[in-house]
């Protein structure tokens, strides 16, 4: 709205239009987010990604309990070939909680699932 004030000054009609445009854009954004969540939760193959992102969010926020809970649910919904991802994330939370033995056990489970790293960079 600062750009509008610079270009057109303090025009009340312009403010009304800008508020209307901003409201429509925000509505469309929230509508998009809502349908994205609906799609993810209806698609069983995609649900684990959302839980994994939730676990990472809670880990960054510092709420380890919710982080572990999201990662536990991610592990439940994860296809077996990707099960190492929530296991490694859960191990990092265990290290933050000063529980290295649990972290080692989770990392060993992740190595059983996938002991190779895919090389994305082609030389």
Are the C-beta atoms of 109 and 87 separated by less than 8 Å?
yes
Residue 84 confidence (pLDDT) above 60: yes
pLDDT at 106: 94
pLDDT digits (tens, 9 = 90+) for 62-73: 889 999 999 999
Q: Looking at residue 58, what DSSP letter applies?
A: H
- Take residue 82 and report the two structure tokens written for it: 């990707």
pLDDT digits (tens, 9 = 90+) for 28-62: 777 777 777 777 666 667 788 888 888 988 888 88
Q: What is the pTM (predicted TM-score) of this model?
A: 0.62
Task: Give the contacts of 85 (CB within 8 A, at least 6 positions apart).
Answer: 52, 74, 78
pLDDT at 101: 95
Q: Looking at residue 80, what DSSP letter applies?
A: G
Q: Which fold has domain 44-123?
A: 1.25.40
Q: What residue ranges do the domains of the chain occupy?
A: 1-42, 44-123
Q: d(Cα 38, Cα 46) in Å, to the nearest integer?
A: 11
Token pair 């312009």: residue: 14
pLDDT digits (tens, 9 = 90+) for 94-121: 999 999 999 999 999 999 988 776 655 5
């Amino acid at each position: 709205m600062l750009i509008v004030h610079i270009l057109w000054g303090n025009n009340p009609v312009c403010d009304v239009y800008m508020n209307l445009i901003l409201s429509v854009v925000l509505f469309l954004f929230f509508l998009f987010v809502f349908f994205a969540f609906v799609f993810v939760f209806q698609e069983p193959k995609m649900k684990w990604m959302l839980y994994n992102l939730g676990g990472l969010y809670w880990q960054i926020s510092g709420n380890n309990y919710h982080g572990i809970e999201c990662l536990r649910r991610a592990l439940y919904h994860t296809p077996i070939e990707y099960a190492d991802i929530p296991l490694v994330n859960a191990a990092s939370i265990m290290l933050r909680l000063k529980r290295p033995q649990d972290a080692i056990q989770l990392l060993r489970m992740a190595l059983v699932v996938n002991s190779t790293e895919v090389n994305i960079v082609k030389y």
